[in-house]
Structure 1
Amino acid sequence: MITRRTLMASGLASSLALAACGPDKPADTGGAVRIRFATDWRAQAEQGGFYQAVARGFYADKGLDVSLIQGGPSVNVPQLLAANAIEMGLGSNAPIVLSMVQAGAKAKAVMASFQKDPQVLITHPRADITSLADMKGKPIMLADASITAFWPWLKAKYGFTDDQVRKYTFNAAPFLADPKAIQQGYVTSEPYTLKTQGKIDPQVFLLADSGYPGYAAMTLVSDSFRAAHPEAVRGFVEATIAGWKDYLRGDPAPGDGLITKDNPDMTPDLLAQAREKLLSYGIVETAEGAIGTMTMDRWKAFFDVMAAAKVYPADLDWASGIDLSFLPKPT
């Protein structure tokens, strides 16, 4: 579970998923528009809004026949979109969208389920670290994909340097063995694992709460499907927003039931703690941004950091990977 973000960002081959989905064209089924939606990892609470929308019939109410396809280490959502094996998919983090633009992918992000990227840095309880700024000059365990994701922002904001980087292998043992260790994580995952398995109460620093501008969990849509079925895309966005509201504000049992059916490894405790983190950290809904919201100003702020770090060329047409027209109008 804890390796999902890095595996997705690394662009692993998706041959298994391609074989399972098939590259056939979308079709109307009994009057409903079929949408195959590939998630970014195995079923979990971080996808609860989508599962809730299926379970509660919100997609069906919009005339959509939505199939959720579990992600995993062999599933690369941008590649599936390029192969027309799916109509829509989940992009884990903001760099995925920019990388799609750079690669010339014919797809766009139309909403962001996560207003805050759930990426965190984690330490043992220690008096000398009370903020991200206090980590300057200290070794930090990072996965390879993070070097071109949130690391450039940390370097620009806090003066972190590359000589601080240590290899993160998604093994908790090095962190647990070293009380001075710092590692990356996902707010809904690693802190819970360290607390239950390592019997420690780690300090958790959500990058978004210190200004990291990247969105996460973006809904990606192929250009061909978007052009052919704009009302279906709009209906999907509206139903997904309704699904997230219902999952977080109401009874999550319908969505959780489908999640555990797809992924029996998801225990009630795992689901409950992840949902609680989504709520308590304001991952899905914040005071500044309603569910699904994206703005070009914030995307530009993210791109500017990445371009300054030379992760992407300064002349990249980043805005071509984003379409805000399907989002509900602010009230």
Structure 2
Amino acid sequence: MSPLCLLRALTFGALAMLAAPAHAETLDKVTFGTNWVAEAEHGGFFQAVADGTYKSYGLDVTIVPGGPNINNGILLVAGKLDFYMSANTLKSFDAVTNNVPLVTVAAIFQRDPQVFLVHPNPKVTKLEDLKPLTIFISKEGVAGYFQWMKNEFGFSDNKVKPYTFNAQPFLADKNSAMQGYVTSEPFVVEKQAGFKPTLILLADYGFDGYSTLIETRRDLIDKKPDLVQRFVDASIIGWYNYLYGNNKPANDLIKKLNPEMTDDVLANSVAKMKEYGIVDSGDSLRDGIGAMSEARVASFFDKMSRAGVVKRDIDFRKAYTLQFVNKGVGLDLRSKK
């Protein structure tokens, strides 16, 4: 995820949030692992801890930050965590492919924040315009969304160079594009290089997978559906409050857990999430944050299977459930502005 936090990644492992309520014995203890160090892209979860939302739902939640040397996804599979913040729908399909009993129960990001950054050029304004350029993409990106770009838009491997989460090769080559998250890399480039890059959001071109998912084990769904529902509902409320309310409690907690985080970075990330409808757009406008639909997942699976990213014969419906979302939770908290 965001390389903003790579400057000094947390090395003390799983840090518990010091938010245990006074009567913790009456609450259900829950552990939730993120997939990176604390940042605004996880803000709603931190908000629900910091402002007492989880507590009001009868939960004593400990958030376990991820990082470059921490694999919270494995801890979820091993039963060491109750919930995990998975990156995207492709990860959910991978779980099905490998017979891992994990299920997505909510999709916090309605739009995948994956973008390409381009040097300002009036001739490069849309995805197809990137074809003549050198494109810096990570190994994971090449194995995932770039296969879709090849299949749908005719991109070629011979223009790809490795992206190592360092913007300097992109900055040095005006005829290049670089992958990034709309909430992070563009801000870094603008500060470092003094120009505002052109952004091409893959979601605008049909890359319609969900991102920042709440994932859990199938056995927890079967044994404790009420706990799952309360965690999902409280997380949704946390996200509404983070985006549209006073998010200082969450940001203070994020900075405590990640000392390299700054107020300007947090403010930029929140602004971009709103501007591009990353969290609250599409189906969430009607069904609430976290919304998912069968048609949307089926559409994404069809695209990824045609591109050869996932096998056509897997039962992708095992990757998710709509049991806990689309209930309109928190809609009254949305900003009227």
The TM-score, its normalising length taken from structure 1, stands at 0.90
Shift of 1:278: 0.6
Match of 2:155 in 1: 160
Shift of 1:153: 2.1
Does residue 185 in structure 1 map to residue 180 in structure 2?
Answer: yes
Letter in 2 for 1:315: D
Q: Tell me how far apart the structure 1 counterparts of residues 222 and 106 of structure 2 sit (CA, whole Å).
A: 16
- 1:184-223, aligned counterparts within 5 Å? 184-223=179-218
- 1:36-115, aligned counterparts within 5 Å? 36-115=31-110
Q: Aligned match of 1:149 in 144, 155, 159? A: 144
Report the identity percentage.
38
Q: Tell me how far apart the structure 2 counterparts of residues 327 and 287 of structure 1 sit (CA, whole Å).
A: 14
What runs of 5+ residues in structure 1 fail to find an aligned partner?
A: 6-15, 22-27
Matched position secondary structure for 1:51: helix
C-alpha contact 1:92 1:216 (8 A) present in aligned 2: yes
Q: Tell me how far apart the structure 1 counterparts of residues 184 and 248 of structure 2 sit (CA, whole Å).
A: 20
Does residue 319 in structure 1 map to residue 317 in structure 2?
Answer: yes
Does residue 138 in structure 1 map to residue 136 in structure 2?
Answer: no
The answer to which of 255-264 and 146-155 deviates more is 146-155
Shift of 1:86: 0.2
Q: Aligned match of 1:229 in 209, 220, 224? A: 224
- 1:286-325, aligned counterparts within 5 Å? 286-289=281-284, 290-325=288-323
Match of 1:9 in 2: none
Shift of 1:329: 2.6
Q: Tell me how far apart the structure 2 counterparts of residues 294 and 189 of structure 1 sit (CA, whole Å).
A: 25
Letter in 2 for 1:191: P
Shift of 1:210: 2.1
C-alpha contact 1:137 1:161 (8 A) present in aligned 2: no
C-alpha contact 1:119 1:186 (8 A) present in aligned 2: yes
Shift of 1:295: 1.0
C-alpha contact 2:112 2:203 (8 A) present in aligned 1: yes
C-alpha contact 2:255 2:261 (8 A) present in aligned 1: yes
The answer to which of 284-293 and 188-197 deviates more is 284-293
Q: Tell me how far apart the structure 1 counterparts of residues 222 and 283 of structure 2 sit (CA, whole Å).
A: 30
**What are the superposed Cα offsets for residues 282-325 of structure 1, whole Å, 9 maximum, x if unpaired?**
10001443310111111111111121122221111111010110
What runs of 5+ residues in structure 2 fail to find an aligned partner?
A: 6-11, 17-22, 332-337
Shift of 1:137: 3.6
Q: Tell me how far apart the structure 2 counterparts of residues 231 and 2 of structure 1 sit (CA, whole Å).
A: 33
**What are the superposed Cα offsets for residues 132-167 of structure 1, whole Å, 9 maximum, x if unpaired?**
121124321100000122112222322112222111
Match of 1:25 in 2: none
The TM-score, its normalising length taken from structure 2, stands at 0.89
Shift of 1:3: 4.2
Q: Tell me how far apart the structure 2 counterparts of residues 302 and 93 of structure 1 sit (CA, whole Å).
A: 11
The answer to which of 44-53 and 208-217 deviates more is 208-217
Shift of 1:29: 5.2
Q: Tell me how far apart the structure 1 counterparts of residues 131 and 170 of structure 2 sit (CA, whole Å).
A: 18
Q: Aligned match of 1:243 in 238, 243, 268? A: 238
Letter in 2 for 1:204: L
Q: Tell me how far apart the structure 1 counterparts of residues 311 and 3 of structure 2 sit (CA, whole Å).
A: 28
C-alpha contact 2:76 2:82 (8 A) present in aligned 1: yes
The answer to which of 104-113 and 280-289 deviates more is 280-289
> CA 1:137/1:178 → structure 2, altered by over 3 Å: closer, same or farther?
closer
The answer to which of 206-215 and 37-46 deviates more is 206-215
Does residue 269 in structure 1 map to residue 267 in structure 2?
Answer: no
